[in-house]
Chain A
Amino acid sequence: MATFNFELVSPERVLFSGQVDAVILPASDGEMTVLAGHAPMMTTLKTGFLIITDTPGNGRRVLVRGGFADVNPNGLTVLAERALPAEELTQEILDREILQAEMQYDATNDPAAKHAAESAVAQLREAKAALNF
């Protein structure tokens, strides 16, 4: 299977850099899979799991909270606002994230921002359920 270059960076560090088969992105208009040779594209991300397939049949999950994905001929770059690999997630971290998202929801009056915060809370709850906490 053709591979392409993928980089996942958060403000604090580089989380992943290397060749991958496929990446599933939580794009703001719905989940999408990026494969090698994808047309140049740019999209914003919502809260959700980003799944990296670096070898067939293997998926690494990273929880991202917002950011940007840039697909260009050189590969895919994801700039995540916050990124937490699934193996580092604990119940406390998730609970804190949920609380933060809820606070964001309460703090804003802008309908678009309110909607984004609402879906972030839902996504985080789902993540919590998926990880059996």
Chain B
Amino acid sequence: MPSLKDLRNRIASVKATQKITKAMQMVAAAKLRRAQTAAEAARPYAQRMAEVLGNLASGITVGPETPRLLAGTGSDRVHLLIVCTAERGLCGAFNSSISRLAREHATRLMAEGKTVKIICVGKKGYDILRRQFSQQIIEFVDLRSVRQIGFEQADMIAQKVLGLFEQGEFDVATLFYSQFRSVIAQIPTAQQIVPTQIEATGAASDAVYEYEPEEGEILETLLPRNLTVQIFRALLENAASEQGARMSAMDNATRNAGEMIKKQTMTYNRSRQAMITKELIEIISGAEAL
């Protein structure tokens, strides 16, 4: 049986923890709003980009002149996985669920005899994947100093990926991130970005397009651009998901702490009363004995 002092200390420490988790929850809620607006503001661009690309790609036939970003290298021997996670922990299963998806993907590819290369964006995913795939990780992008994710960060990552592609370092690239559905639902997603996947636009206009400059030239600038946009979108979705996950994790933690305080206070009061009763009995029985 712990002493009353021990119990008091324990309650105080849980209360302190609860204060911290509560504060973190509120900070996450405020950040979430900002991240969510950013993610939503970026959606139209990505959507229009996909439409434009769809329009353009539906007009051309894949031939030897087609840019390799669209047509692929013709093999799928070397896979590049770009794993986007958070820089900080304490956000529930957010980091581990993205890493798990990436790990399953990597293990499956390796079992098929393919070469796997990994680029980690975000420290947490790097920490998790490093244990198993230290040979495969070729790069680690640190975004810890970045407060608000901008287009520049996405561009930097895209340039790295494009550089590797031009040197023939990989054939297929897949992006791993968490899609933001709502505060309680974040869906870890794998999205193939190289070769570019074109969503077939249902209403493919049969109108003849004019191109200025040449079709191929436009495609050549549009495709790397699209890659950057996809990465940018993934980073923003990830940022919103991270805050959402942290908010619900901290909400849970606060609630658990509340429950624990209640239970501890109950035990504390019980043992305090038991002690008083015991003392009373001692006094009464002492008086009776006289």
Contact = CB atoms under 8 A, between A and B. Distances in A.
Interface of A: 7, 9-14, 27-29, 39-44, 68, 70, 72-73, 77, 79, 81
Contact of A42 (B38, B44, B151, B218): B218
**Could you say which interface size class chain B belongs to?**
20 to 34
A42 B210 contact: yes
Say what secondary structure dominates the interface of chain B: helix
B59 to A, nearest CB: 10
Given A29-B212, A42-B55, A42-B218, 8 more contacts: A11-B229, A12-B38, A12-B41, A27-B212, A42-B209, A42-B210, A68-B225, A79-B48
Contact of A40 (B38, B44, B208, B217): B208
B52 A77 contact: yes
Contact of A68 (B205, B222, B232): B222
A77 B207 contact: no
Interface in B158-186: none
Contacts of A70: 48, 51-52, 55
A43 B210 CA distance: 8
A73 B207 contact: yes
Contacts of B44: 7, 9, 14
B134 to A, nearest CB: 33
A29 B209 contact: no
A44 B223 CA distance: 13
Contacts of A11: 42, 45, 151, 229, 232
B190 to A, nearest CB: 23
B63 interface: no
Nearest to A39: B210
B261 interface: no
Query: What secondary structure prevails in chain A residues at the interface with B?
Result: strand
A1 to B, nearest CB: 23
B179 to A, nearest CB: 18
B41 A77 contact: no
Contacts of B213: 28-29, 43-44
A7 B42 contact: no
Interface string B214-235: 0001100110010001001000
Contacts of A27: 212
Nearest to A12: B41
A68 B52 contact: yes
Nearest to A13: B41
B253 interface: no
Give the 7 A-B CB pairs with smallest separation, nearest first: A43-B212, A41-B210, A40-B207, A13-B41, A9-B45, A11-B151, A70-B52
A73 B206 CA distance: 11
6 contacts: A40-B207, A42-B55, A43-B211, A44-B218, A68-B218, A68-B225
Contacts of B207: 39-40, 72-73
Given A11-B151, A68-B52, A42 B212 contact: yes
Residue of B213, B217, B229 most packed against chain A (CB within 10 A): B213
A72 B204 CA distance: 11
